[in-house]
Chain A
Amino acid sequence: MKIRLLILSALSCLLSTPFEGAPLPVAPGDFTPQPLVEKTADGFRVPQPGHRFEFPRDHGSHPEFKVEWWYLTGHLFGPDKERFGFQATFFRKATTPASAESVAGAKAFRADEIFLFHAALLEVGSGRFIHTERLARSGWDAGASVEKLSVHVGEARLRGEESQKNRFTLDASIREEGGFSLDLEALKPLVVFGNDGVSRKGDSPTAASWYLTFPRMKAVGEVRIKDRLVPVEGKVWMDHEISSSQLTGEQAGWDWAGIQFEDGREIMVYRLRRKDGTTDPASALAWVDADGKTTHYGASEFKWEASGQWRSPVSGAKYPLPVHLSAPDPATGKTVEWTLQPLANQQELDGAVSGVPYWEGACRVLSAGREVGAAYVELTGYAGALGRALR
């Protein structure tokens, strides 16, 4: 569940939800969403269950769908245990499907599709956090292949290796301040979240996605901080999500986390917050075991709470951090509690281009005072004046 939806779905009047110590009550009733339709009102396809994914084709772009993203987060370590966190997101959005004629023939500057790229890099030791955003028309400076994983925005790019399956390269620079180049290799098979290949994000008959994830990849490469190059290795989480309409009008924002445990398992969790202060029943938590098998839990079966608050000096948004999460462990059946402790508080992206500030940061995962893994947490819809930011 990613921030870009917020921008691209043009939810102009999202309000921040006041911080509350108690968990949000889950909206009453079991989550039995309306059946999915084939197409959205504006003619885009809606992800259907039972789809047979084919690779490398389905790593590539799906232009018949409205929105799509490739989202990578990870934890990297240098030779002297120097630690970094990074985020790189390629987002595709078809805007006005029938407007191509308005700029007839201008394939280099398409108006029917735009790409957005976000990158962030945290140098944990110094707490230095750098980030960038870039918007581009589909065309000469941004695009995605429909045959394989090959997406680029400006100089940033994510490519599948020609010869080897599930191996990718990622390049991103954050202006002169830094950048990273990583070779990625999946350590676990691809996971498809949701029921029968469809992840529901709300009650609406179009609110669904195909949600493909490599929850654990090995990364080898280089990180640059200004002029300093650091060889790094680490673990990466990569999402690829395809949809045409996900959110409903009542949703105010969401919280998401991808947790990689030291025991080789992962959790993917999202909590959708409604404007009335309740948790949307479409919220979900999924365990991925060491072999890549998933176990899903509904909104009522896990708890996402705040155990503090951090106020961004840039946007003024108050983020519920650190995060306190409790959920049943399918291996034992017992409920386990974790604290997702940020490696630095300042990991807010200020929305310089999109106008939507959000928090996306590397966290250590503590359980009973012991570090049991690493996580990336995303908190959206907390910046008070989203409307202003969208000027």
Chain B
Amino acid sequence: MSSSLERASPVPGRVVWNLLRRFTWRHWKGQPLRSLLLLLLLSLGVAVFLSIRLANRAAVASFTNFAGVLSQQADATIAAPAGLLPETVLEELRRKTAVRGSDALAGLELIPIVETVCAPPRTGEDSRMGTRASFTLIGVDLVALQNFAAQQKFDRRWFDQKVEGAEKNGMDGEQALVRLLTRSNAVFCSAKLAAREGLQVGSTLVAVVNDQAVTFEIAGVIPGRADQPESPAGLLVMDLPALQVLTGKVGGFDRIECLFPSAAREGANREILLERLRRAVAGVASVRTAESRRMAAELMTRGFRLNLTILSLLALLVGLYLIFQALDAAVVRRRSEIAVLRALGVRDSEVRRAWLWEAALLGVGGGVLGVAGGWALAQGTVRAVSQTVNSLYYANNTEAAGLHFGEALTAFLLAVVCSVLAGWLPAKRAASTPPAQLWAQGGRAAATGGESRLRSVVGWGLLTLSVGLAFCPPLTFQGGARFALAGYFSALFGVVGAGILAGDSLRFAAWLGAWVARRSASRKLAISHLRAPTSRHRWAAAGLLCAVSMTGGMSVLVGSFEHSVSEWIGHLLQADIYLTSDANQAATAYNRIPASTWKQVTGDSAVADWDALLLVPVEFGGGGIRLAGSDLGFYHRHHQFSWLKEPLSEEIFEVQKNAGRCVVSESFAARFRVARGESICIPTPSGERVLEVAGVYTDYGDDQGIVMVDRTHLQEWVGTQEVSTLSLTLRAGEDPEAVRARLRNSHTGLAVFTNVHLRGEVMRIFRQTFAITYALEAIGVGVALAGLGMTLASILAERRAELTTLRALGMSRRDIAQVAAWEGAVLAFCGTAGGLVSSLGLGALLIFVINKQTFGWTLQPAIPLRALLLLGVAVPVVGAVVAWTVGRFGADLPADRTR
């Protein structure tokens, strides 16, 4: 041997690189369609995940502040725990935070804000709830706004925007300003809205505020800076005092946004300034930083968003099964090649690394495609997400989701890490099977006894762990937010554990099917393949089980939810007619019906009995809840409460005796761990009140928490005669539809529902909320089915020789397609059956653990038989069709090519 060869030592990594380049890449290139499909399925998983993350982010980001429109996010926001901040707070703040002009912390900006959510008026007969995109109408001091515009080097075009095309309007700045300030209906709208609605300076825009349709005049477009994101489409800005008058908030406002001087934007100075603010408003209001405010919005929707995120992981999880399966199949296919390579001196570790790299590269490809796809998909999902956020949490009509670098990176890394994880076992297998055995087996893989034992241990172990985790309590955060971490892990372990065990059901099915198959060659052959299922068979079944069980589990949850909600509204909605402001198209819209209006309505000759509800958002325990005032006696008389803990005494229902008492919703009790008989201290606009909790009732309409007192007391505390909703019971013989039509005509600013209509609307919104859930599940099941097809395709490719034999023995392509179809159908059936069984467990977990811990709702379990049956039939049938197609095109001979 020559000395140069003796001395030669391989450059580290060179061997692996050569393996990748000479073998792996050529294999991939040789099967372009399969490679592409695998990449696409993985990227679909990533894309779905990312799109949901982006849509969530966009929906949360829209919960922002006015300062953000001007320049940067407010450094701090001051708000009263309940009701409005009195105007005197501002002077107090200025006085108490005053510093000398030479102080480095001089320059604190205070921006008082009045905000209301209004909505365009209904058109025609359309009276669906929450379908019209709300406007967020912000009242800000337009005079002071000038200063910010100047400071931020903004386009200064707030005050004298000209009618397009017209010559100079001959007004100077002061005249324009004075004119603006003396018009009570002048608003600035976003450029987007102006473009969409064709609005110009001087155009009018009608929106419902409280019970009135108000005609606004467009004073201009909210000016923007090129380097700032465009202002949200639904944003309207008007002069603060004018909005105070319009909304009945004279003398108060909703919040103060604070901008700190640059010297105090971070670090110790920021804390000093925050502390000064806190001291200045102590006892009157609370100071929240931008982060804590954003966090509050995030917390509010966390449960909802987490559910979506976790659901969105379904497709990725199924995708992982696919990668695992594909790599595992590749190991089998290339086993003789590996054996030769190792015979030539390639090390175990090099083989393993090459396989891991293959998995990682697959992850990179899938990640890149997934990020692109996710961003595109997000544009669609964002509407669905924001609509749900709108109906459940706060006014929101986000229409676009930006590509967030962090999220994209997360999704990308997730793809890579998961791919590597999925490639781990195949890589180990590739590296560890000795060549001798490979030769002896002629390239066929067979599960060893040890492996199957390990599989059982892991499978059952995960299931046991899953059951144990289901009994763990949730994580809790400040503000009463909870997160069912253990519950989610329980679900994950349960699904994966069941998936691992799914393969064993294949043998059972084969045994069971043998008799059925005895007369048919195709069936017989198909069944014979499942007697000793390969790992690919197992993983295909596991993937399907995972998708089906999650889909089924969600169906059980949604079914139970639907059942509970419809029972609940059956209790709750007993009146004939319901009225609210037509502007209340979003959960945070607190438009009210003025006393004059509701007295007129309730005085109608058709009305026999009525109740009114006043809703006030308040801060409690560091989070937002709602304080409700209603005629508790009316509720009781009409059996509208669904009690979880019934009041022990009837006194709560008598207005003379129920001062100092309240009933709370279940989510409130769960969120703040309050029990019947305990006392809570609730902030009200006229100070804190100590209330004894007399009972706990069910409310599926709210997951933040409701404290209900008698309306008389609440109206007194708030100092208003206004109400939020009205419910009317009509005299016998009155036609609700006729009364509704009459009320709609006489009160154009009120939304009027009959009982039937409102029930329908509640259920419609309920279903709409779950629309995205269904879509995510469908994608998950779709990926699993595609995976089934891929599995069969790869299995058929491995059985090339066998197929030729079969053809030689006289089987037609159709026969072979039938073999594949049967194999696929049985495989799909096993996955589905296992999935349906575990979906019951998962459904129970979702209902009794995750939902309960996240939202605090007790649901009555109901199994949606029809949905599960549909799933149980559709998945195997589609699986058979996919398999048939694969078989049909996977088994041709040269003789089939002509003719």
Binding site for B on A (CB under 8 A): 7-8, 10, 12, 95-96, 99, 102-109, 111, 114, 133-137, 140-141, 152, 154-157, 170-173, 175-176, 179-181, 221-224, 227, 229, 352-355, 387, 389-391
Contacts and interface: CB of A to CB of B under 8 A. Distances in A.
Contact of B182 (A111, A134, A140, A352): A111
Q: Which of B100, B107, B250 gathers most chain A CB within 10 Å? A: B100
A173 B90 CA distance: 20
B11 interface: no
Interface string B222-250: 00000000000000000011101100001
Nearest to B240: A109
Contacts of A172: 101
Nearest to B170: A12
A389 B174 CA distance: 11
A106 B150 CA distance: 26
B516 interface: no
Interface string B155-194: 0110110000000000011110010011010000000000
A264 B379 CA distance: 75
B110 interface: yes
Contact of A390 (B146, B173, B261): B173
Given A227-B263, A391-B173, A135 B146 contact: yes
Given A135-B143, A180-B102, 9 more contacts: A137-B144, A155-B106, A157-B98, A171-B101, A171-B102, A179-B100, A181-B101, A387-B172, A390-B172
Given A96-B182, A111-B182, A387-B172, A223 B102 contact: yes
A355 B90 CA distance: 28
A106 B251 contact: yes
A387 B151 CA distance: 21
Contact of B178 (A96, A106, A135): A96
Contacts of A95: 174, 178
A357 B570 CA distance: 69
A173 B101 CA distance: 5
Nearest to B99: A155
Nearest to A387: B172
B108 interface: yes
A224 B107 contact: no
B102 A353 contact: no
A134 B147 contact: yes
Contacts of A389: 173
Interface string B77-101: 0000000000100110010001111
Q: Which of A133, A152, A352 gathers most chain B CB within 10 Å? A: A352
Contact of A179 (B101, B181, B250): B101
Contacts of A10: 172, 174-175
Contacts of A7: 174
Interface in B94-150: 94, 98-104, 106-108, 110, 112, 141, 143-144, 146-147, 150
10 interchain residue pairs of minimum CB distance: A171-B101, A173-B106, A352-B150, A103-B241, A181-B100, A390-B173, A108-B87, A140-B90, A106-B241, A12-B172
B428 to A, nearest CB: 60
B108 A137 contact: no
Contact of B184 (A102, A152, A180): A102
A134 B173 CA distance: 15
A212 B17 CA distance: 89
B107 A175 contact: yes
A107 B157 CA distance: 27
B745 interface: no
A175 B106 CA distance: 7
Interface of B: 87, 90-91, 94, 98-104, 106-108, 110, 112, 141, 143-144, 146-147, 150-151, 156-157, 159-160, 172-175, 178, 181-182, 184, 240-242, 244-245, 250-251, 261-263
Contacts of A221: 102
Contacts of B98: 155, 157
A7 to B, nearest CB: 7
Contacts of B102: 171, 173, 179-181, 221-224, 229
Contacts of A140: 87, 90-91, 94, 112
Nearest to B253: A108
Nearest to B159: A391
A291 B160 CA distance: 50
A133 B147 CA distance: 7
B101 to A, nearest CB: 4
Given A106-B241, A181-B100, A155 B94 contact: yes
B143 A136 contact: yes
Contact of B141 (A99, A109, A353): A109
Contacts of B106: 155, 171, 173, 179
A141 B104 contact: no
Given A137-B143, A141-B90, A103 B101 contact: no
Contacts of A222: 100, 102
B245 A155 contact: no
B172 A105 contact: no
Nearest to A176: B262
B820 to A, nearest CB: 73
Q: Which of A152, A353, A354 gathers most chain B CB within 10 Å? A: A353
A8 B174 contact: yes
A337 B262 CA distance: 47
Given A105-B250, A140-B90, A180 B101 contact: yes
A172 B102 CA distance: 7
Contacts of B143: 114, 135-137
Contacts of B101: 155-156, 170-173, 179-181, 224
Contacts of B90: 108, 140-141
21 contacts: A96-B182, A102-B181, A103-B241, A106-B245, A108-B87, A108-B112, A111-B182, A135-B144, A135-B147, A140-B90, A141-B110, A155-B94, A157-B98, A173-B107, A175-B107, A176-B107, A222-B100, A224-B104, A227-B263, A355-B156, A391-B157
A230 B52 CA distance: 56
A176 B174 CA distance: 28
B146 A353 contact: yes
B239 to A, nearest CB: 8
A105 B263 contact: no
A102 B147 contact: no
A10 B150 CA distance: 20
Q: Which of B110, B146, B160 gathers most chain A CB within 10 Å? A: B146
A103 B175 CA distance: 18
B182 to A, nearest CB: 5
Contacts of A133: 147, 150
